[in-house]
Amino acid sequence: MPNNSFLTTRQKRVLELRIQGYMQDRIAKMLNTSRVNVSVIEKRAYQNIEKAKATLVEWEQLQALVSIAIEQDTDVMSIPRIIFNEADSAGIKMHGNTLDIITQIHKTVPGAIEHRRVKHPFIIYISRSGEISFG
């Protein structure tokens, strides 16, 4: 079976064993290698996973119908209204409500909001299906 993943067979094996609770020393013995090598394999696997996640975010943003620049000092309570207005103009039915959007901003763009104000600018992308992502 061909490997269509960003992870090598060895990286997948190391991650699989770590998920099962094995320590790096034990994995090294099982794979007949050094603990340092297992550490490097694991680190590179996580780097590949993060790159794959970032690639998916970029792909979603490329497909977005609407992008909205949220400027510094914007009142956080006005952001959902801005999103809903832009989505309506583009004929997109949004998922979620005001609270969902504000919660998603706090979770996805850490440190962006301070005392109801945008601390640093960011971009909101709205997909055809009404999902939002941040850049």
> Which DSSP string corresponds to 75-89?
BGGGHHHHHHHHHHH
| pLDDT digit string, tens, across residues 82-102 | 999 999 999 999 988 999 999
- Mean pLDDT taken over the chain: 92
In 3D space, the residue among 84, 109, 110 whose CA is nearest the CA of residue 95 turns out to be 84
pLDDT above 90 for 64: no
Give the number of other Cβ atoms within 10 Å of residue 128's Cβ: 13
Q: How confident is the model at residue 59 (pLDDT cuts 50, 70, 90)?
A: confident
Q: What are phi and psi of 55, to 5 degrees?
A: -65, -40
Tokens 């998922």 belong to residue: 95
pLDDT above 90 for 48: yes
What's the rounded Cα separation, in Å, for the pair 102 and 5? 34
Q: What's this model's pTM, rounded to 2 decimal places?
A: 0.63
Q: How confident is the model at residue 118 (pLDDT cuts 50, 70, 90)?
A: very high
pLDDT above 70 for 2: no
Q: What percent of the chain has pLDDT over 70?
A: 99
Burial group, residue 12, by CB count within 10 angstroms (0-12, 13-18, 19+): middle
Domain ranges of the chain: 9-59, 64-134
pLDDT at 128: 86
pLDDT above 80 for 3: no
